[in-house]
């Protein structure tokens, strides 16, 4: 007989549950001030950790930063119960709403939509998202080499973890760069080891921003090339990101991009050879009943 139990976790998440919470979320939770600034819940399946959920509370609501259930525990209402407990906590704290943002497909998307709608949430669909498996990159002349031992990134490319703070800040003030493409938009979600820049005379003139979005799942948030960057910088930056994801995951992974215009869609088609799956991004506000 399966026994599922739920527990409250502290801001320093135990190792047994850490694998169910993304690194940037663990960091954000550890830095929250006060005991009521966040809620971290865990679930156990026959005495073993199987799920975790994290909400950071703001003035009148909260944001669901992480919700992950081990595949072996899915289909038993674990996710729904965790969300229910989070809403109860929000009501206790006097909050009014819970913000949810997710990128899924197929049965997982349908299940999450149903969970949100059951709680009174209204979903809004975001930009189209392309999900690509690294297994399909292996034979690609563009990306395949980046997944093999011995590959070296272009000497003009530097990871954000290798840039100085002034170099990073210079990218937030590029003239004509839309606000949604700036590194500052990602905040703590930006992963310096999954983001890279092309340097000319020590100055970043192109970049690709990335972050981890789930277990063996990574997102390219944006990619930009200035007038002083060579055309080959796009390929070099994408290969660098793919290589970093490969080593981070320790093997196969899914890589997400969101083409926001025809040019971006053409680029995604170019470097994947058209071999990708459509995912859907949803945003929703779930009311918290007092």
Res 189: pLDDT: 86
Polymer length of the chain: 290
Q: Which residues are CB-contacts of 273 (< 8 A; sequence separation ≥ 6)?
A: 140
- DSSP SS3 for 205: strand
Query: Smallest Cα–Cα separation from 275: which of 149, 155, 138?
Result: 138
The residue-averaged pLDDT of 65-73 equals 93
Report the alpha-carbon angle 11-14-18, nearest 5: 95
Q: Which residues are CB-contacts of 282 (< 8 A; sequence separation ≥ 6)?
A: 100, 101, 102, 103, 104, 109, 112, 113, 116, 123, 124, 125, 126
Residue 129: pLDDT over 90: no
pLDDT in tens, 152-161: 999 999 999 9
Res 83: pLDDT: 96
Rounded CA gap, 77 and 205, in Å? Answer: 48
Confidence of residue 1 (pLDDT cuts 50, 70, 90): very low
pLDDT in tens, 10-34: 888 999 999 999 888 888 888 887 6
Q: Among 96-100, 214-218, 270-274, 275-279, whose mean pLDDT is lowest?
A: 270-274
Confidence of residue 138 (pLDDT cuts 50, 70, 90): confident
Helices and strands in the chain: count of H runs, count of E runs: 8, 13
- Torsion angle, alpha carbons of 110, 114, 120, 125, to 10: 0
- Characterize 156-165 residue by residue with b for buried, 16 or more Cβ atoms within 10 angstroms of its Cβ, and e for exposed: bbbbbeebee
pTM of this prediction exceeds 0.85: no
CB-CB contact of 51 with 43 (8 Å): yes
Res 35: pLDDT: 63
The percentage of the chain sitting over the pLDDT mark of 90, rounded to a whole number, equals 58
Owner of token pair 């509370």: 57
Res 39: pLDDT: 95
The residue-averaged pLDDT of 244-256 equals 91
pLDDT in tens, 251-269: 899 999 887 677 777 777 7
Rounded CA gap, 146 and 240, in Å? Answer: 7
Res 151: pLDDT: 95
Rounded CA gap, 119 and 74, in Å? Answer: 19
Residue 169: pLDDT over 60: yes
Q: For residue 73, what is the DSSP state? A: G
- Characterize 64-83 residue by residue with b for buried, 16 or more Cβ atoms within 10 angstroms of its Cβ, and e for exposed: bbbbbbbeebeeeebbebbb
Rounded CA gap, 206 and 289, in Å? Answer: 46
Q: Which two tokens stand for residue 75?
A: 């289909």
Query: Smallest Cα–Cα separation from 90: which of 116, 56, 120, 44?
Result: 56
Beta bridge partners of 257: 130, 220
The residue-averaged pLDDT of 270-281 equals 79
pLDDT in tens, 40-50: 999 999 899 99
Strand 277-287 relative to strand 129-133: parallel, antiparallel, unpaired? Answer: antiparallel
The residue-averaged pLDDT of 137-158 equals 91
The percentage of the chain sitting over the pLDDT mark of 70, rounded to a whole number, equals 98
Confidence of residue 274 (pLDDT cuts 50, 70, 90): confident
Q: For residue 173, what is the DSSP state? A: T
Q: Which two tokens stand for residue 258?
A: 């969101």
């Amino acid at each position: 007989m399966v026994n599922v139990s739920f527990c409250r976790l502290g801001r320093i998440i135990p190792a047994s549950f850490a694998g169910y919470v993304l690194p940037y979320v663990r960091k954000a939770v550890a830095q929250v001030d006060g005991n009521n600034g966040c809620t971290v819940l865990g679930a156990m399946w026959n005495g073993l950790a199987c799920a975790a959920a994290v909400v950071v509370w703001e003035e009148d609501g909260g944001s669901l930063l992480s919700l992950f259930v081990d595949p072996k525990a899915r289909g038993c209402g674990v996710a729904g119960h965790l969300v229910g407990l989070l809403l109860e906590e929000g009501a206790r704290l006097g909050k009014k709403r819970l913000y949810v943002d997710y990128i899924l497909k197929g049965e997982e998307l349908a299940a999450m939509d149903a969970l949100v709608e059951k709680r009174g949430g209204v979903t809004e669909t975001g930009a189209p998202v392309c999900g690509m498996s690294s297994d399909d990159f292996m034979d690609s002349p563009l990306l395949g080499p980046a997944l093999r031992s011995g590959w070296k990134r272009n000497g003009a490319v530097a990871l954000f973890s290798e840039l100085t703070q002034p170099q990073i800040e210079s990218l937030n003030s590029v003239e004509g760069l839309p606000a949604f493409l700036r590194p500052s938009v990602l905040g703590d979600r930006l992963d310096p080891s999954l983001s890279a820049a092309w340097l000319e005379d020590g100055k970043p003139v192109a970049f690709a921003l990335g972050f981890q979005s789930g277990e063996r799942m990574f997102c390219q948030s944006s990619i930009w090339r200035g007038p002083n960057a060579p055309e080959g910088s796009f390929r070099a930056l994408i290969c660098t990101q793919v290589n970093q994801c490969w080593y981070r995951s320790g093997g196969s992974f899914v890589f997400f991009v969101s083409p926001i215009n025809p040019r971006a869609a053409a680029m995604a088609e170019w470097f994947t050879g058209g071999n990708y799956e459509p995912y859907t991004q949803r945003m929703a506000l779930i009311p918290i009943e007092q």
